[in-house]
Each structure stands twice: as structure tokens, then as C-alpha cells.
Structure 1
Amino acid sequence: MKPQSMTGFARSDGYWQRYRWTWELRAVNGKGLDVRLRLPQGSDHLETDVRKRLAERLARGNVQVALSITLAESRLELVVNEAALQAVLDLKARLGDVLDDKPLSLEGLLGLRGIADFREGEEDSAALETRDGMILGDLDVALDRLCAMRGEEGEKIVAVLGRQIDRIAELTGTIEADPSRTPAAIAERLSEQVGRLVDAAPSLDSDRLYAEAVLLATKADLQEEIDRLNAHVAAARALLEKGGPCGRRLDFLAQEFNRETNTICSKSNAVAVTAAGLELKTVIDQFREQIQNLE
């Protein structure tokens, strides 16, 4: 699977008999997978399945999931509170001698609070199970669309990252090939520095100065940092080629790119190397910014 972006939107609609429903999924960047559900009353039993399906398809991102269910037609049922009705009839019987003999009418009984009420008819358990299965099936449709959108955006991000990695490799090569790093240039520079020190202070031991200069030159050598930058470039390319969730590992590599570049800039004793190092830092910052959008 190719690397995906963490941002996207998807929607799916479905119906069954008198039920209509709509799923809406919105995803933005996040350090991990954070799912926030908004389910209609009476649909809480779907939460476990919804979270499981999202976790199987998504690795990172803040995802808002909303389900709305409406009834295309109403089916009211009259529900009688048998206990309340019997209590009223028992009271009528006990007080028959006191009250008039006018019989209780249906209209009168329905007018008594708590005796009867109209409510929406419910399906049996088998029908509700069928409906819920279709609702979850449409969640899969919305997830397919969300992953497709994230995949398309991911392809664009990977293309940008590939160009930035190429630029990092190019600038690393520029630093490695800079004339200031040739043995002849280093020797000439050391000789000039030691010569100026001896001229300024003839009493200094020139052999000791040369030894110290060689030690400083060894510490200032950039080859180790260059080798690590090249290794990180190869690792970043391998991650993008392998695909799948790789944002966190690329972010770690971006930190390592930055660490080696900072060291190169601090060791540099050539204007061209410093300039390439500063441009490297700019490209690495752009690289890291793009990574924040990648799953």
C-alpha cells in the first residue's frame, strides 16, 4: 500500500425499507489514531464495530465519524399501559355509588395521562440486525472513499518528498566535492595558519603547532557527517518505496538530517560548504513540514 495523507473527507448514503442513513468521515493530521464518533440515539451498540473497522484501515489521524438515521415514513403504534388502565377501572368500580353512572368512554380514557400513548413502531430483532449490517456496510463504502482520497493526496506528498530527498542528496554531493575538502587544500590551509602563528610568536614550537593543527583538522573533517547523510537519504527513499504508514520514521530521519547538517555548518571552514549547509537546512525544514501530512 502506498503512503497515505492523513487528511480527507468521505460520505456514503444508504436505505433499507423505511430507514435512510448517511455516514460522513472527516480526517486531519494527528500523532496517532483518534476517532470521535457521533451516533444517533439508539445506535450506541454500533460503536465497537465502527471503531474496529476504522482501526483496520487507518493508522494515524484525527477522524470524526458522524452517522445520521431518518425515517422515510412514520409507523405509529398505540401503546396501552395495562396497569394504569386497570387501576382506573378499579377506582371507577369502587366509587360507583358516589359517582354518576355515566360510563367511561374511549375518548375519555385516552384523555387520561399515562393510560395510552402513541409511539414509533419498532422492528423485530432480526430486522434491526439486517438494517445494522447494511449501515455498517455503507461505513465500509465511506472508508473506501476516504482511503482513496488520502491515497491520492499521499501520492502528491510522496512526489514532493522525493524531489526534496533528491535535493538533499545533491547538496550533500556538493559539500563532499567542494575543493576545500581536498588533501592539498587542507594542507595548504594548515600550513598558512601555522606559518602565521610562528611569525607572530617565534618562541612557539612549530612541530607542536603542526601536531595540534592536524588534530583540529581531523576533528573538523566532514566525511563522517556526509556518509551519514547519504545513509539517511537511502533510508528515506527505501521507506517511500516500501509504502504503508511511514510518517513517524520519516520524521525521525528528518531530525537526523538536521543534526548532521548542523554539525557540518559548525565545522565548515569554507564559504561554499557553509552556503550548501544552510540550503540543506532549508530543504530539510520543508521536508519535515510535508511529512507532518503523511500517515
Structure 2
Amino acid sequence: MENIRSMTGYGKGEYNDGIRNIIAEIKTINNRYSDINIKAPRHLRFLEDNIRKIIKNSILRGRVDIFLNIEYISESATVIAPNLALANQYKAAIDEIKGNLNLDDEVRLDTIIKFQDVLVAKENSDDENELKICVEKSIYNAIEKLLAMRENEGKQLRVDVLNGVESIKKLTAEIQKYSTTLVDDYKVKLEARINELLGTKYELDENRLYNEIVFYSDKSDINEEIIRLESHISQLESTIASGGAVGRKLDFILQEANREINTIGSKIGNLDITKNVIEVKNVLEKIREQVQNIE
């Protein structure tokens, strides 16, 4: 049986090859779809497509934020090169601003190099391959810790959902029990009400009374809704038991269960049944909140 996973988690991975130390942090939260966002130094961005593939193989749904950092601990083949064309464009723009505003400030070197991409870190082709290996290993380390956390939270979600399922089973049984006496109770109340209004002056029309009771019986029959509700609750159990990425399926089943309990509530005015209907809806909403965080 595959475990279910929460969509909320965090994992941090590191890999050191003696030249560089790569630190990868992955944070996930719930999202209806897969949304992967990568924040990395510019000279690591050539690896983004590969990182996305790794993430998609392990995380099927949720918002995923990946933060990459690199620390050099000895000499590497990395070269810091100036982007002179860009630096000239920045200087020209500053000179234009100075001219328009009649300013006499000098354009200083420390001002220019602060602008993005004026200094660019580059790796040679051999070192890029080593860098790719380091980044991938740090990502895999982070994913391992992330998934462990998501599975631990998934275990608690599983318990919470199944506890809710048991509550709904008991409440549904109560609704069914009360529904079996609805017609008899209605007949007694109707006869009493007629006698109260008419007294003994008029003879009770048994045929009209019978038709009224049959009409009420058809209108208040909730057997089909109860059978479907029980089926949906059974599907919740079996889906949770199957494990894996079942969040969307569970959400759909809950929508169908809500539809049935709403129909029951609209059909029946009995106070005992109404109380149980309200409680079932409350429990379904609590389960839905938990399911929103299941992958």
C-alpha cells in the first residue's frame, strides 16, 4: 500500500565535492496543480530544465519553491568576466539622467558593478558537468527529506480523514433509523391535526388521507440518497487505503457526498434528521479542509 502525502513540506540538501558546496532548499505548499519555481544564481540557471524534471518525477502536485546557493571552498574553473557592453549601457543611461537633471556627480565604478549582470560568473564546459552533478545530488538530498516530512504529515491526514468517515457512518445510520418512522409519524400527526380542526362534525375521508400519506411518503423517501451517500463514504475509505496522489479524487468524492446530504436535508423536515444532516455537513467540511492538503 502506497502512503498518502501532504503537500506541505520542507527539505534541505547539501553536496560538497571539495571545490564547491551546493545548498538546495525545497519548500512545498498546497496547490491545485503543479507549480515549480526556482531561484538560483545566474550561472546555475542553465540547469533549471533538468531540475524541473527531477522535481516532477517526485512531486506530482503543489507549489514547489526551490532555492539554490553555491559556496566555493577552493579554486574552480569559474571565471568572473565583465559584461562591458551592458556596463556601457548603464553608464550611458546614468549620463543621460545627469544631463537632464543638471547634476555634476561622477559615475563611479562601484556604482556600475552593483547593477545586475555587469559581472558574470562563467564555467568552462568540463566544470559545468561537475557542477550539474553537484546540483543534482543536493536536489536529491533535499527531496528525500522533503518527502519524509510530507509522508509523516500524510499519515496524520489519513487518520483525521478516516476518523471523519467513521463519524459520518454513525450519523448516516441515525438518519436512516429516524427515516423509517417518518411516514407513520406523519400519519398520526395528520390525523390528529384534522381531528383538531374539524372535530367530530365531519367524517374523515380515508381515500384523501391515504393519498396525502402516499404523496408525503414519495416526497420524503431518502433511501436512494442514503445508499449513494454510503457508497461515497465507502469510496473515501478505499481511496485513502489505496494511497498515492489521491487528493483530487478525494475532493471529487466529497463533492458528491455533499450533494447527497444536501438533498436529504431539503427533503426532510424532521428535527432529529436535520440535526444529523447538519453534523454530517460539518464533518464533510472538516474532511474537505484536510483533503485540500493531500497530494
TM over 0.5: yes
Identity of aligned residues (%): 30
For residues 144-188 of structure 1, the C-alpha deviation after alignment (integer angstroms, 9 at most, x for no partner) is 11111101000011011010001111111111122x524xx6235
Residue of structure 1 in register with 2:87 after alignment: none
Q: Does 1:28 align with 2:41?
A: no
Q: Does 1:196 align with 2:193?
A: yes
Quick one: which amino acid aligns to residue 69 of structure 2? S
CA gap 1:122/1:294 in 2 versus in 1, 3 angstroms: closer
Per-residue deviation, 1:71:
1.6
For residues 14-62 of structure 1, the C-alpha deviation after alignment (integer angstroms, 9 at most, x for no partner) is 1223212100001111111101110111112101111111111111111
Residue of structure 2 in register with 1:153 after alignment: 153
TM-score by length of 2: 0.78
Residue of structure 2 in register with 1:166 after alignment: 166
* Distance in 1 between residues matched to 2:39 and 2:166, nearest whole Å: 44
* Distance in 1 between residues matched to 2:260 and 2:120, nearest whole Å: 68
Instruction: Say if 1:35 and 1:64, in contact at 8 Å, map to a contact too.
Output: yes
* Distance in 1 between residues matched to 2:80 and 2:185, nearest whole Å: 103
Q: 2:184 aligns with which of 168, 183, 187?
A: 187
Instruction: Say if 1:38 and 1:67, in contact at 8 Å, map to a contact too.
Output: yes
Quick one: which amino acid aligns to residue 147 of structure 2? C
User: When the two structures are aligned, how many residues end up with a matched partner?
Assistant: 253
Per-residue deviation, 1:261:
1.6
CA gap 1:189/1:131 in 2 versus in 1, 3 angstroms: same
CA gap 1:68/1:188 in 2 versus in 1, 3 angstroms: closer
Per-residue deviation, 1:269:
3.7
Quick one: which amino acid aligns to residue 18 of structure 1? I
Instruction: Say if 2:41 and 2:68, in contact at 8 Å, map to a contact too.
Output: yes
* Distance in 1 between residues matched to 2:71 and 2:193, nearest whole Å: 88
Per-residue deviation, 1:216:
2.2
Per-residue deviation, 1:196:
3.3
Report matched runs for 1:1-295 at 5 Å: 1-74=2-75, 124-178=124-178, 181-182=180-181, 186-194=183-191, 196-197=193-194, 200=197, 202=202, 206-295=206-295
* Distance in 1 between residues matched to 2:121 and 2:273, nearest whole Å: 78
Q: Secondary structure at the match of 1:24?
A: strand
Per-residue deviation, 1:191:
4.8
* Distance in 1 between residues matched to 2:127 and 2:43, nearest whole Å: 15
Instruction: Give ranges in structure 2 of 5+ residues lacking alignment.
Output: 82-118
Instruction: Give ranges in structure 1 of 5+ residues lacking alignment.
Output: 80-118
For residues 77-114 of structure 1, the C-alpha deviation after alignment (integer angstroms, 9 at most, x for no partner) is 899xxxxxxxxxxxxxxxxxxxxxxxxxxxxxxxxxxx
* Distance in 2 between residues matched to 1:221 and 1:245, nearest whole Å: 37
Report the aligned-residue RMSD: 2.6
Q: Secondary structure at the match of 1:49?
A: helix
The structure number with the bigger radius of gyration is 1
CA gap 1:214/1:40 in 2 versus in 1, 3 angstroms: same
